[in-house]
A = this chain, B = another copy of it.
């Protein structure tokens, strides 16, 4: 299934509309191209409905939200819902400011998201209405560990049931869950946290996976998470003496561009809980 999800992206080359932050936008565009999709970025309210209409999916990321782009997110999301397009929410920094938390909640109220992907602190903030984050990074106290895994799986399932969205919580251990089934993924490396944008890139790529596998949202989201983690491992193995986090960033995107379905299928460390 993972193999097929990846191959469908390469075959169908979905066009993905991104309303995303200006910090990691270039990486999001490059990883979308790397995985076989096509990115378009557009955030003016005059054009977002039209742009999203020609796309297969919409990726909404609040990383550098502002009073111009928030209305655009709402317009684009509603239009995407109306057209049955896949929509992903990346609530970057929810919990770090009232604007972010309230915007994320407002987006969730007015738009049906197929997947909500964030770190554990962001997702807890959305679930409980308030929370603690370390800026755009997860609070260490929230970390998903072997010890609390069952609790977090239960939390993810409950929140998926409540929101009717697939919930993807990424970190050292990744969870991708609907109300009934939770995939636990143990790919990736902790060094991925020392480069900016791996989360944003994953949300962009996940939108492409959903758009190319419309009947299999949970599996497609899981496949994207596995692919990103595996790319983190492959990219790390390709590092040489003197390489550091900037080269690592390139190596991860490189690994996505070279990844085959077979490689993903055999490299994924994914179990069902």
Contact = CB atoms under 8 A, between A and B. Distances in A.
Q: How many copies does the complex hold?
A: 3
A99 B197 contact: no
Contacts of A29: 23-24, 196-197
A97 B50 contact: yes
A47 B99 contact: yes
Given A50-B99, A98-B47, A93 B40 contact: yes
Contacts of A98: 47, 50
Contact of A196 (B39, B100, B244, B256): B39
A258 interface: yes
Contacts of A246: 30, 34, 249-254, 257
A44 B196 contact: no
Interface residues on A, range: 35 or more
Residues of A contacting B: mostly: mixed
Given A15-B135, A67-B44, A246-B249, A196 B50 contact: no
A15 to B, nearest CB: 5
A136 interface: yes
Interface of A: 15, 21-27, 29-30, 33-34, 38-44, 46-47, 50-51, 54-55, 63-68, 93, 96-100, 134-137, 194-197, 234, 238, 242-247, 249-258
20 contacts: A23-B41, A26-B27, A26-B196, A30-B196, A33-B196, A38-B135, A39-B196, A40-B96, A41-B63, A42-B64, A44-B99, A47-B99, A242-B254, A242-B258, A244-B254, A245-B257, A246-B253, A247-B250, A247-B254, A249-B250
